[in-house]
């Protein structure tokens, strides 16, 4: 079978390498030239490439099963295996610490010279169609014929828009973020950690997360409501650093005696949760000769670090279906059914959870008129330990989010009693606006910003 893969990111390379190993002829079309032998890899067009990432255990599990050479290359570049101590489950694999750049370098390195797989630099202009099916792609004015086209171009890919129905689930979630990459100085210990992967601070009107990567690298994120234009100033270095000094946990992490910045402040832009099935624009369940995988199907915000895991789980299932499907051109329909059952629930979980968090950031209280979002259910375990018994499957993604349904009434009782999770030590939203505004004024970047009061929107 001749296969064209749109994109040579993690999804494209995983599927492409596995199909090549099965004897198929695979061409992955990618605009980016790949990593330079040394130095910075810009990876233009992939916004999240330089931002914080978490790599759940499913990522290494799929690599070990499907592409062990890539797992070895990733470990050789410094990826660090970690475990979590989860009540009721003991020590469990928790994934790996790594930067996204390190991860993709490993995949590119492992793909070099693989028989049956070639990476062609170029841009896919459109899909080719004949007889009601996709027959290949147009690349920079030329045509590549294919028995199957796999769209692994990510959430921003446009090549399939003419044949694929738009997303009808989710969208912008009302959050935006900025982050910055640092590295610990030689001999310095990490700052405070909530678990072996990250530290999180929850505040009145915003959130901070630190992701520890490999070899002392770490990312600091500041997350805010998109509508909070005053905190948009955090994209400026003076404001970002002032915020880090003012938030106790971040002050420890970014202390100049402990760590040095590696990048400037990186705007992450508005975040989204979205699900897009395989249905075609003509209403058909799937388009013969074509299938989408990865972020092109399911996108979630990075706060729980699920993105690469859900992508690799999709890739494993797609490969399994292609191994058994008598006509690979029709794989889209069974794959769509699997994604509906297995991927959509995680997107819906994030839609509910992230939307409710933004509402609370804007001054709203816990809404007891509907099912509690997952983050509130988990937080209530601090009061009722029985709730924690349901958390391991959810936190490890070994079962669907519905595993929390049985303990939701227990969490509801906790909030009905009047309990609310306390904020982390640090400035309120209004105090942070003042802090960042004065830092910008002192730096000559902008005049002080008034701490405008929040208004609750619904």
173-201, pLDDT tens digit by residue? 999 999 999 999 999 999 999 888 899 99
pLDDT at 69 over 80: yes
pLDDT of residue 456: 38
pLDDT at 160 over 90: no
pLDDT at 141 over 60: yes
Query: Average pLDDT, stretch 390-419?
Result: 95
pLDDT at 335 over 70: yes
194-205, pLDDT tens digit by residue? 888 899 999 999
pLDDT at 171 over 80: yes
Instruction: Give the integer Cα–Cα distance in Å for 401 and 344.
Output: 10
Percent of the chain with pLDDT over 90: 79
Residue with tokens 């520890």: 212
Percent of the chain with pLDDT over 70: 96
pLDDT of residue 451: 45
Residue-averaged pLDDT of the chain:
92
pLDDT bucket at 156, cuts 50 / 70 / 90? confident
Strand bridging mode 117-121 / 148-151: unpaired
Instruction: Give the integer Cα–Cα distance in Å for 58 and 373.
Output: 24
pLDDT at 108 over 90: yes
pLDDT at 378 over 70: yes
pLDDT bucket at 446, cuts 50 / 70 / 90? low
387 close to 393: Cβ distance less than 8 angstroms:
no
From its phi and psi, is residue 208 left (phi > 0), alpha (psi between -120 and 50) or beta?
A: beta
4-33, pLDDT tens digit by residue? 999 999 999 999 999 999 999 999 999 999
pLDDT of residue 46: 77
| List of residues 6+ apart from 33 with CB closer than 8 A | 121
Instruction: Give the integer Cα–Cα distance in Å for 17 and 107.
Output: 10
pLDDT at 457 over 50: no
């Amino acid at each position: 079978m001749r296969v064209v893969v749109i994109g040579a990111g993690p999804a494209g390379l995983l599927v492409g390498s596995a199909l090549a190993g099965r004897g198929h002829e695979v061409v992955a079309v990618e605009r980016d030239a790949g990593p330079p032998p040394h130095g910075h890899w810009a990876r233009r067009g992939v916004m999240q490439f330089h931002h914080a990432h978490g790599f759940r255990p499913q990522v290494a599990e799929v690599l070990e099963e499907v592409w062990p050479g890539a797992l070895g290359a990733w470990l050789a570049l410094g990826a660090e295996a970690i475990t979590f101590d989860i009540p009721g489950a003991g020590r469990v694999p928790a994934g790996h610490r790594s930067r996204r750049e390190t991860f993709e370098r490993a995949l590119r390195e492992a793909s070099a010279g693989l028989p049956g797989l070639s990476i062609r630099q170029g841009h896919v202009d459109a899909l080719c169609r004949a007889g009601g099916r996709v027959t290949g792609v147009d690349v920079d004015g030329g045509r590549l014929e294919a028995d199957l086209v796999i769209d692994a171009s990510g959430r921003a890919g446009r090549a399939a828009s003419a044949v694929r129905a738009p997303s009808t689930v989710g969208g912008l979630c009302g959050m935006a973020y900025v982050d910055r990459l640092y590295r610990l100085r030689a001999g310095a210990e990490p700052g405070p950690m909530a678990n072996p992967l990250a530290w999180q601070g929850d505040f009145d009107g915003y959130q901070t997360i630190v992701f520890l990567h490999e070899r002392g690298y770490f990312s600091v994120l500041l997350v805010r409501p998109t509508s909070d234009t005053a905190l948009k100033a955090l994209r400026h270095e003076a404001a970002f650093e002032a915020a880090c000094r003012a938030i106790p946990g971040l002050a420890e992490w970014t202390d100049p005696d402990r760590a040095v910045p590696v990048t400037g402040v990186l705007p992450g832009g508005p975040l989204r949760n979205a699900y897009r099935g395989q249905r075609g624009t003509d209403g058909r369940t799937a388009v013969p000769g074509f299938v989408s995988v990865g972020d092109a199907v399911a996108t979630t915000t990075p706060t729980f670090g699920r993105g690469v895991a859900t992508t690799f789980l999709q890739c494993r299932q797609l490969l399994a279906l292609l191994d058994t499907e008598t006509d690979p051109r029709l794989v889209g329909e069974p794959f769509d059914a699997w994604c509906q059952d297995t991927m959509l629930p995680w997107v819906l979980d994030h839609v509910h959870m992230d939307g409710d968090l933004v509402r609370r950031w804007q001054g709203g209280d816990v809404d007891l008129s509907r099912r509690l979002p997952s983050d509130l259910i988990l937080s209530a375990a601090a009061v009722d330990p029985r709730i924690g018994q349901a958390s391991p499957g959810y936190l490890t993604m070994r079962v669907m989010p519905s595993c929390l349904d049985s303990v939701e009434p227990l969490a509801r009782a906790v909030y009905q009693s009047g309990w609310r999770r306390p904020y982390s030590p640090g400035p309120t939203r209004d105090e942070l606006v003042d802090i960042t505004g004065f830092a910008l004024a002192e730096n000559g970047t902008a005049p002080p910003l008034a701490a405008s009061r929040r208004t609750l929107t619904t």
